[in-house]
Amino acid sequence: MSDNPPETPDGGEGLMGLTEVEPSPVEETPAEFKDDYFPPSQPQGSRTSTLGLGNHGPAYYLHRVQKYSSYAFTVFASFHIANTSIIPLLTKSVTESNRYLLLTRPYYQSALTEPLLVGLPLIAHIGSGMALRFYRRRQALRRYGAETHGDKRKIPWPPLSGTSLLGYLLVPIAGFHVWSSRILPLYMHGDSSMISLSYISHGFSLHPFISFAGFSALIGIGAWHITWGWARWLGYAPNQITDTDSRRHLRRKRRWYIVNAVAAAVAGLWMGGGLGIVGRGGKTIGWIGREFDELYNSMPLIARLS
């Protein structure tokens, strides 16, 4: 018998020979998704639920409602960007672009397609995101046993990602755009068909500073929110890299630059046609200009500034 300890499998280096890896951040693995790594075993042939949807919590379904509702709205956004930016950028003319706008707009602004592509997806996307945040807050309070108001104040809310923050900032800006270009014309005149690119161009010439600032905020925040959201859905977000080697930080930084470059390209294309062509189209002259002047004067001041 020897007094020396037996050799370890790593060649005698002991615990110092183990490879040091970085711990996984807590926020990257929410508590409600931890069961996905080790699903509960079930008897073979048993049914998971009455509807066959599986034994998942509310967060699972809220996350999927938020995800799939963005698919439908992306279809509308693609048509809208094409009509208000890409086509004006190609034609270099507001008048010529109006023809394509009036030709394709009935397909995504009809009584059937507009609720399915715009209204319901927006409500589902925003509502599920807010519900998911409140649900995670409730789970955190239950996990730490917070009962009194003082205990609840000590427990922080779930961290707010940059994509979610952009989404919350986009809600009032996009809502004001919808109100001024769709809801208010229907209320004032019973129709919104007169809201064309010439109408928007006329508004830019009357209120250039407010119009350019408002549309720049709408396009910038919208482009970054959409791009980062799709990067997350497709698994290309920087925090979705699970490698533990030394190149992990390099790959995360590379993805960060790529996603932001794509967002900048989308925003630049959107602004190039929307602001560069439509916004600088100038005040419409002749009978169209007088008609738009009457329409602007009949609307409240806050609508004319939009």
pLDDT digit string, tens, across residues 159-211: 889 999 999 999 999 999 888 888 888 777 777 777 888 888 888 888 889 88
Tokens of residue 39, six digits: 């699903």
Q: Which of 41 and 228 is assigned the larger pLDDT?
A: 228
Per-residue pLDDT at 281: 80
b/e sequence 216-227, b meaning 16+ C-beta within 10 Å? eebbbbbbbbbb
CA distance 277 to 271: 9
**What is the chain's mean pLDDT, rounded?**
78
The pTM for the full model equals 0.74
In percent, how much of the chain has pLDDT > 70?
73
Angle between helical axes of 162-178 and 208-233 (0-180°, round to 10): 130
CA distance 185 to 292: 12
pLDDT digit string, tens, across residues 115-154: 888 889 999 999 999 999 999 988 888 888 877 888 888 8
Per-residue pLDDT at 172: 94
List the domains of the chain with CATH numbers.
58-298 (1.20.1300)
Please compute, for residue 295, the number of CA atoms within 13 A of its CA located in the half-sphere on the CB side: 26
